[in-house]
Amino acid sequence: MRARSRTRTPKMAVFATVRYTTAMSTTSAGPPHAPLAAKPSSSSSESSRADHAPVTLRTIRRMVRQGERFAALTCYDATTARWLERAGVPMLLVGDTAAEMILGLPGTIHAPLDFLITLTAAVKRGAPRTFVMGDMPFMSYQADEAEGIRNAGRFLTEGTADAVKLEVDAKDAPLIERMARAGIPVVAHIGCRPQQVKRAGGYASAGRTAEEARAMIEASAVMESAGAAMLLIEAAPNEVSARIVDRLSIPVIGCGAGPACHGQIVVLHDLLGLTDWQPSFARPIAAAGTELVHAAERWVEKVRKNDLGTHPYKMIDGEEDGL
């Protein structure tokens, strides 16, 4: 879900898996490794969202009917999910981009199935009121339909996902239909499909010719007829997305597919400036990587100077005499 350019501009490398969302220090004298309590925010928007009803497919459909655009982000851990839910992000995708962002692997096709199911459950625990999609990884559904349905079911039972996302084309309609009959909400991913890049010879946008655009529009209609709950379009012209949105009655999420889509999703690490390169449609709006480096530098300096503040743990009076 993250089309890449063939060239990258080198930048300062930063760690992809970070705990930038937790406080850097605490005055609590609690046990070691105890979870840090979040400091309540004075933000009225955060407090108003703290107890909102769970976001479901009905919620998303209602937003679409009312013309309300919705944001979505990738997420891979409970802590970050908790903060994103507090921010009011209604939809999270535990994407196969975890292979790159979390494991440091060269592409999304290397994402392990069990790993993604575990991460999906973690994200849902962190954001129980948020709509969470599990991303079905490469070869988890392509070889055998029955196996694909069982694996999709695992995302719902073990991963507690609200839906699963599959990279598909029109030929995959029978699989979508069987999943829908089994009660599995499917988000059909069309356009640029990263799991197909080896066959395509690299990442490329989709629907740039009339022939490609017609095929995408037809595939989208086939997906809806097969029972897909939502559609995700990646790396496509807005003209094509607009025609798809006009034709379908299900919510359409765009990933670099233009403003015509009902919702928009990008990789969180791109948005936060934690990656060394970002797609043109996912430019950073924060500099979390730089902030992480600065915080780590300050910690290194504090340790070097032994400037750790007052130590919170003391022996019981008189017990030191018995050492």
234 is an active site residue: yes
Q: Which two tokens stand for residue 132?
A: 């969470």
Q: Which residues contact 33 (CB under 8 A, 6 or more apart)?
A: none
Q: Which residues contact 54 (CB under 8 A, 6 or more apart)?
A: 128, 129, 130
- Under 8 Å between Cβ of 71 and 89: yes
SS3 230: strand
Catalytic site residue from 85, 167, 224, 234: 234
Rounded to an integer, what distance in angstroms lies between the CA atom of residue 140 and that of residue 289? Answer: 33
Q: Which of 94, 45, 89 is nearest to 71 (CA)?
A: 89
Q: Which of 265, 297, 302, 305 is nearest to 281 (CA)?
A: 265
Q: What is the DSSP string of 286-302?
A: --HHHHHHHHHHHHHHH
SS3 194: helix
- Under 8 Å between Cβ of 108 and 100: yes
Catalytic site positions: 234
